Amino acid sequence: MKILWFMFLELLSSALSLDNGLALTPPMGWLTWQRFRCITDCKKYPEECISESLIKRTTDIMAKEGYLAAGYNYVVIDDCWLEKKRDANNRMVADRQRFPSGIKALADYVHGKGLKLGIYQDYGTKTCAGYPGVLGYEEIDVKTFAEWDVDYIKLDGCNVDPSKYDTGYPAFGKLLNETGRPIVYSCSWPAYQDNPNYSSIAKYCNLWRNYEDIDDSWASVKNIMQWFAENQDELVRYAGPGHWNDPDMLVIGNFGLSLDQARVQMAVWSILAAPLLMSVDLATIRPEFKEVLLNEDVIAVNQDPLGKQGMRVWTGSDCEIWNRELADGSYAIAFVSLREDGAPFTLEASFDDMKISKKIYKVKDLYNDEKTTFCDIQGKFETRINPTGVRFYKFTPICI
Ligand SMILES: *[C@@H]1O[C@H](CO)[C@@H](O)[C@H](O)[C@H]1NC(C)=O
Ligand SMILES: *[C@@H]1O[C@H](CO)[C@@H](O)[C@H](O)[C@H]1NC(C)=O
């Protein structure tokens, strides 16, 4: 009965979700916003301003230094790329100083390196940073994006009456579809609403920002984790191949997270089947953070083909257990400590705590701190977690 019900839900979910063949696993890439915000003064901050040189530099590094090979294939320009005025034909114009070659040439460059180009716009009259938005120009803008060979649109929701989202975002998605160009559609629609209609959102968007913008701090990462856990019963129903909840960018490698905290974000975002959108200066990132971003085993959890979003399944002693079911019958299980008292904390978890059945498991430590261990049928699983840190394992049943 339970199995039939699941099959029914799966059918329902595939019938009612966006069918553009894209984002069958959570999108991976790099986005300007969290690290570079709206830095537009290229004289003062030549390495950081939102510009074609930043995008090209990042594209080169992604192609050369293993990021593309690991799966990070979208490079996305967030807000602050536009001129403040449209041209005489009402077309958007990229900032003439900072993007002198224009977006089409930039897309060609990015494609030439084997990556895809994403770009930001806003459903309102203006973007959140005050540049021209699409409202009133939707058709011409979608046509322009397609002509520029853009592969991914992040559509924000500033400066528009929230009652317009429920019809506006689908209408914009329909225009994208009509271009015939495969374009990933990232929506900010639910982040601006109190009671979002997720069945509609999952039908029209490949990914959607549910909640507040992330900041470069542990407090922000923790707050987002908490919100996703509190709302997980509702949210997990809408995640699956082609359509994903988006807890926002990875802030790994910037100023605010310790290495342990960076590992927590990477682990929990993987359990959440979240888009992995780095926002960091890849030219200066420290090697230990790069290693976290490029961890193949953790990325494999994130990109698991079953596409089932995991959940927080236990809390206690200021620690949390997160569990995600994987396509091969394994479970990815993260033991997170929110403790700040000092000395690694020893956590003992029962099979019930971890929400897995009593079997013998091969246990692999995904951050490679420990060798493979075996978990006995009777036994409890014991692990030792650093303050504001994580131990992240894959549990694979080896006996029935
Ligand atoms: C447009 O929508 C149809 C129907 O859902 C789908 O089959 C097709 O792949 C979509 N095309 C693009 C380019 O998104
Ligand atoms: C959600 O949107 C769908 C259309 O996609 C509609 O059929 C349904 O009635 C909406 N639900 C609510 C609660 O408004």
Domain count for the chain, please give it: 2
- 201 alpha carbon, closest ligand: 2
Q: Is the pLDDT of residue 10 over 70?
A: no
For ligand 2, mutation pick of 194, 199, 208 (most atoms within 8 Å of CB) = 199
Domain end among 302, 320, 338: 302
The pLDDT value recorded for residue 16 is: 63
Question: Ligand 1 pocket: which of 14, 16, 17, 20 to mutate (most atoms <8 Å of CB)?
Answer: 20
Distance 200 CA to ligand 2 centre (A): 6
| Residue 316, domain CATH | 2.60.40.1180
Given CA atoms 221, 225, 231, 237 in this order, what sign does their dihedral have? positive
pLDDT at 180: 97
Q: Which of 10-24, 120-134, 293-307 has the lowest mean pLDDT?
A: 10-24
- 236 and 212 in a common domain: yes
Among the candidates 275, 302, 329, a domain finishes at: 302
Q: Is residue 342 part of a domain?
A: yes
Taking the CA of residue 200 as reference, the ligand 2 atom at the shortest distance is 5
Angular region, 399: left φ>0, alpha ψ -120 to 50, beta rest: beta
Instruction: Specify the residue with its C-alpha closest to ligand 1, atom 1.
Output: 177
**From the CA of 205, how far away is ligand 1's center (Å)?**
12
Length, in residues, of the chain: 400
β-bridge pairing 74-77 and 116-122? parallel
Mean pLDDT of the chain: 95
Task: Give the residue carrying structure tokens 């900010």.
Answer: 188
In whole angstroms, what is the distance from residue 241 CA to residue 23 CA?
A: 7
Residue span of the structural domain in which 367 resides: 311-397
Same domain, 290 and 321: no
Q: Does residue 88 sit within a domain?
A: yes
Q: Answer yes or no: do 159 and 141 share one domain.
A: yes
Token pair 């979700």 in the structure block, residue: 17
Distance 199 CA to ligand 1 centre (A): 18
In three-state form (DSSP H/G/I as H, E/B as E, the rest C), the secondary structure along 303-363 is CCCCCCCCEEEEEECCEEEEEEECCCCCEEEEEEECCCCCCCEEEEECHHHHCCCCCEEEE
Hey, which residues are catalytic here? 156, 213
Between CA 32 and CA 27 the distance in angstroms is 15
CA of 190 to the centre of ligand 2 (A): 14
Assigned domain for 317 exists:
yes
Closest residue by Cα to atom 12, ligand 1, is: 177
Distance 55 CA to ligand 1 centre (A): 29
Ligand 1 centroid to residue 18 C-alpha, Å: 8
Residue 5 scores a pLDDT above 60: no
Q: 297-326 pLDDT, tens per residue?
A: 999 999 999 999 999 999 999 999 999 999
- Tell me, what amino acid is at 248? D
Spatial contact of 79 and 38, defined as CB atoms under 8 Å apart: yes
- Asked whether residue 181 is assigned to any structural domain, the reply reads yes
93 and 111 in one domain? yes
Q: Three-class SS of residue 126? A: strand
Whether residues 149 and 233 share a domain: the answer is yes
**pLDDT at residue 138, as a whole number:** 98
In 3-state terms, what secondary structure has residue 386?
coil
| Protein residue closest via CA to atom 8 of ligand 1 | 20
Is the domain of 94 the same as that of 181? yes
Closest Cα to atom 5, ligand 1: which residue? 19
d(CA 35, CA 41): 15
If asked whether residues 359 and 227 sit together in one domain, one would say no
What whole-number distance in Å separates Cα of residue 346 and Cα of residue 349? Answer: 10
- Angle between helical axes of 259-271 and 218-230 (0-180°, round to 10): 20
Residue finishing a domain among 283, 302, 321: 302
Q: Do 296 and 340 reside in the same domain of the chain?
A: no
Calpha distance 215→238 (Å, rounded): 25
Angle at CA of residue 243, ends 239 and 244, nearest 5°:
55
- Judgement on whether residues 253 and 324 belong to the same structural domain of the protein: no
Interval 163-182 mean pLDDT: 97
Give the model's pLDDT for residue 7: 47
Same domain? For 93 and 208 the reply is yes
- DSSP letter at 132 equals B
Residue 2 has pLDDT above 50, yes or no: no
In a domain, 3, yes or no: no
Answer whether 287 contacts ligand 1 (Cβ < 6 A): no
Note whether 78 and 154 are same-domain residues. yes
pLDDT above 90 as % of the chain: 90
> Domain holding 283: CATH number?
3.20.20.70
Please give the pLDDT value at position 369: 80
* Contact between residue 244 and residue 26 where contact means Cβ atoms under 8 Å apart: yes
The answer on 276 and 325 residing in a single domain is no
Does ligand 1 lie within 6 Å of residue 352's CB atom?
Answer: no
Is position 5 within any domain?
no
- Residue 175 inside a domain? The answer is yes
pLDDT tens-digit profile of 29-38?
999 999 999 9
Q: pLDDT at residue 264 above 60?
A: yes
Residue 156 confidence (pLDDT) above 80: yes
Which of 14, 176, 177, 183 gets mutated to test ligand 1 (max ligand atoms within 8 A of its CB)?
A: 177
Cβ of 167 less than 6 Å from ligand 2: no
Cβ(203) – ligand 2 distance below 6 Å? yes
Please state which of the ranges 165-174, 253-262, 370-379 shows the lowest mean pLDDT: 370-379
Q: Is the CB of 200 under 6 A from ligand 2?
A: yes
pLDDT band at 381 (very low <50, low <70, confident <90, very high): very high
Query: Which residues have a Cβ under 8 Å from the Cβ of 52 and sit 6 or more positions away?
Result: 98, 99, 100, 101, 105, 106
Q: Is the pLDDT of residue 86 over 90?
A: yes
Q: What integer is the mean pLDDT of 45-65?
A: 98
Residue 4: inside a domain: no
197-216 pLDDT per residue, tens: 999 999 999 999 999 999 99
Looking at residue 400, its pLDDT comes to 53
Q: Which amino acid is at 370?
A: E
Average pLDDT over every residue of 351-376: 90
Tell me which residue of 159, 158, 163, 72 sits closest to 110, measured CA to CA.
72
Q: Which atom of ligand 2 is nearest to the CA of 170?
A: 5
HSE of 369 in the Cβ direction (CA atoms, 13 Å)? 13
User: What are all long-range contacts of 317-320, with beta carbons under 8 Å and residues at least 24 apart?
Assistant: 317/345, 317/347, 319/345, 319/347, 319/385, 320/225, 320/229
In this prediction, residue 365 carries a pLDDT of: 96
